Amino acid sequence: MTVHRTHPPARAMRENPDIDQLKRQARELLEAYRAQSPDAIIEVAAHHRTATPEIFALHDAQFVLARSYGFESWPKLKAAVDGVTTTRLHEAVQKGDLGAGRALLARRPEIVDLLREGPSGFEIRAIHIAVMARDVEMTRLLLEAGADTRDGIWPNRDATSPRTIAEERGYDEIVALMTAQEEKRGARSVNAHGDGVRRLRDAMMTGGEEAVIAVFESEPGLAGMCPPDGVTMLHRAAQYGLLRVAKWLLDHGADVNKQSQPDFWRWKGRTPLEFAVWECAADSGRSASEAMAALLIERGAELTPLAAAALGRWDYLASCAPDSLQGKGVLQAAVRGDRPDVLRRLLETGLDPNERMQLGQLEDQTFSSGGPLLEAVNTGRIDMARLLLAHGADPNASVFTAGSATAAAYTGGSPRTHAPDQAMIDLMVQHGGWIDASSVGYIRNVELARRMLEGDIDPHLESGAFSGETVEAILWSGASGRSAEIVRMALERINWPRDDPRWFWMLWRPLPGHRDLNEAEQADSRATFRLILERCDPNLRAPESGQTMLHEVIARDHGVGLSLATILLDAGARTDIRDEFLKSTPLGWACRWGRVPLVELLLARGADPIEAGAEPWATPLAWAERRQHAEIASILRQHGADR
């Protein structure tokens, strides 16, 4: 068989390898490294710089073995040998080949919900493809295999879950299949309480605890809701520190030990108690978290390692085997709960101070490392940071999507929550912390970026010293940090053609995340956006999703949508391009998301209010009516739209 490698191989693969043989080799490597065999030490050191015999696990051995054979990860080695991949499943779904889909899922069931790699559309699952093709039988097969109906596709997850797509397109037969499957899995009543759910959400966010209880009492069925993600109303009450609401739910039969479903970050679900010590502690502080935890424990909640670490229950943790605590988030929980003594004792048992954890739902083997130290930086707990560093924590370890503790020290947390603390910065630097090219723009350090671009200092990228990769990384981080000067310096060293697809994601970086920008941030966003737009085609489209940047600024908005849309239109952005997921123009997106000023802008710039060629469910008026945006529907009718 032909096997395609991406790393120089150190092991030779036999002509017809089998997966059982590779699994045996991984176990043998694990045992040899733990026994400190010289050959194993050399092989592991070549591919896993933070490994130690005490924390080296089977997934680490599999990773090293894959690298030794020339592959990026164990899943890629496994896929090369057995041929069962997410890509092949997606191809079978696209062709409507039920037999092939069934055979692939029988051999490797977990691929039903695994994600592919890539910057756009990588969160497309097989069920998205089936639903968008309105393939009822393929959807049925995937649902029976456990496909998730509620996870959307980045960067517009709220509009792109399989369920939302089916509902908004009017695929009633698929919606019925999903409802039946969700209820079969234990989801209860969610779909029958649309208005009640909205009232409950509003009360939870703004109305206070009595308002929440009043909604429950007016519609008792809401209290027993269990969405497909398994996060019950008691989980939510614990998350938001709603003590009286939690008491009411417990008095009315809520399951105090109900686990949520596993998610992207965790292979195992969480209980309401874990929500209290993790989510509530982060948002409401230790006292609210402790009060909620005390109530739940009094009502029968069982301790877990995560909860015990956050609550300072060393008596419970001491009874656990150290191996059972490895990579389970207990160190970070101890930091979040402000339990320095528990943190010290856990570290003394030999737990990995970086708490390296494998993430779920990705076909490739993906790890996150450095959570405890990042937590200490984010919460300003410098003594706990010192303790972690003294036990070998790496200040440059990267937490997935959050970056390193060193970068967080420079920015005042990740996400930014406080002013940078020079003492924390100095501590990271003293222990070897550095800023790399992919972080320098986030901290907006123009001088450091300049020195990297001029080759004076190490950009700390895998490629080594100054390279094209360095410039691209600095441009990416500068755009992300909305530093116009860093972006300008990087652009001087880039000569990509205007239609290079990389420009799309560079242009995307200055956009707001999940909150409104203040005036200074808005100005920075516009300035950075303009600099990049001057170099590229304003009508570039994202791969897979097919959306333009005009689509994206409309969806995000957060205070800059109108100004950025105006900049794009002035640069020649078209208003007639439809994306692949919502099958809609920018005007359709503005109508879906209820952006009145943007609707008016687009119509003033010549956007078609009728769109006779659109799918019936994807016209601007259809979106406005379905999403109950009455003002927008009225504006469209004034411009001639009428179904």
**What CATH code is carried by the domain that includes residue 423?**
1.25.40.20
Pair (144, 205) in one structural domain: no
Query: Same domain for 510 and 593?
Result: yes
Are 516 and 555 contained in the same domain?
A: yes
Distance (Å, rounded) from C-alpha 524 to C-alpha 529? 8
Split at pLDDT 50, 70, 90, the class of 8 is very low
**How far is Cα 450 from Cα 534, in angstroms, rounded to an integer?**
22
Model confidence pLDDT, tens digit, residues 561-610: 999 999 999 999 999 999 999 999 999 999 999 999 999 999 999 999 99
Q: Do 250 and 272 have their domain in common? A: yes
Dump the DSSP string for 477-491: HHHHTT-HHHHHHHH
| In a domain? residue 234 | yes
What's the structural domain count of the chain? 6
pLDDT at 464 over 50: no
| Residues near 231 by beta carbon (within 8 Å), at least 6 away in sequence | 260, 275
129-to-134, 165, 171, 378, 514 alpha-carbon distances in Å: 9, 11, 14, 39, 27
Tens of pLDDT along 45-62? 888 877 888 888 888 898
Q: How far apart are CA 275 and CA 270, in angstroms?
A: 7
Structural domain contains residue 12: no
Residues 93 and 77 in one domain: no
Residue 212 belongs to a domain: yes
Q: Are residues 37 and 64 in the same domain?
A: yes
The Cα–Cα gap between 462 and 485 comes to 25
Q: Say if 8 falls within a structural domain.
A: no
Tell me whether residue 13 is in a domain: no
Q: Which of 82, 101, 122 is the last residue in one of the domains?
A: 82
Which helix (H) or strand (E) is 339 found in, with range?
none
pLDDT greater than 70 at residue 194: no
Joined together, the tokens standing for residue 332 give 């970070």
Predicted confidence (pLDDT) per residue in 328-374, tens digit? 899 999 999 999 999 999 999 999 999 988 776 555 556 788 999 99
Look at residue 627 and tell me if it is in a domain.
Answer: yes
468-480 vs 484-491: helix axis angle to the nearest 10? 160
Contact yes or no for 53/65 (Cβ under 8 A):
no
Cα–Cα distance for residue pair 362/364, rounded to 1 Å: 5
Reduced 3-state DSSP string for 253-274: CCCCCCCCCCCCCCCCCCCHHH
- At 115, list the tokens: 């994600």
* C-alpha 51, offset from chain centre: 26
pLDDT of residue 118: 46
Say how many C-beta atoms besides its own lie within 10 A of residue 490's C-beta.
28
On whether the pTM is more than 0.75, the answer is yes
Instruction: Encode pLDDT of 162-190 as tens digits.
Output: 999 999 999 999 999 999 998 887 665 55
Burial level of 386, CB count in 10 A (0-12/13-18/19+)?
A: middle
Within 8 A by CB and 6+ apart from 281, the residues are 288, 289, 310, 336, 337
571/602 same-domain check: yes
Longest Cα pair distance anywhere in the chain, in angstroms? 79
Measure the CA–CA gap between 523 and 535, rounded to whole angstroms: 19
The verdict on 426 and 447 lying in the same domain is no
Average pLDDT over all residues of the chain: 89
> Which position has the token pair 């493809």?
129
Q: What is the pLDDT of residue 630?
A: 97
Per-residue pLDDT averaged across 83-96, rounded? 90
Query: Of how many residues is the chain composed?
Result: 643
CA distance 271 to 234: 9
Shared domain check, 53 and 78: yes
Q: Tell me which of 47, 82, 117 is where a domain ends.
A: 82
Amino acid of residue 258: K
CB atoms within 10 A of CB 329: 22
Question: What domain range is 111 assigned to?
Answer: 86-185
Residue 405 is assigned to a structural domain of this protein: yes
Of 36, 51, 82, the position where a domain reaches its end is: 82
Q: Are residues 633 and 503 in the same domain?
A: yes
Helices (H), 252-370: 272-275, 281-284, 286-298, 305-311, 314-317, 322-325, 330-336, 340-348
Distance of alpha carbon 159 from alpha carbon 633, whole angstroms: 20
Rounded Cα distance, 555 and 127, in Å = 24
Whether residues 540 and 622 fall in one domain: yes
Which is more confidently placed, 183 or 244? 244
Query: What's the pLDDT at 222?
Result: 83
Segment of 124-128, 191-195, 219-223, 263-267 carrying the highest mean pLDDT: 124-128
User: Could you tell me the pLDDT band of residue 465, with boundaries at 50, 70 and 90?
Assistant: very low
* Amino acid (one-letter) located at 356: R
With respect to residue 307, please indicate whether it lies within any of the assigned structural domains.
no
Task: Tell me: do 630 and 497 sit in the same domain.
Answer: yes
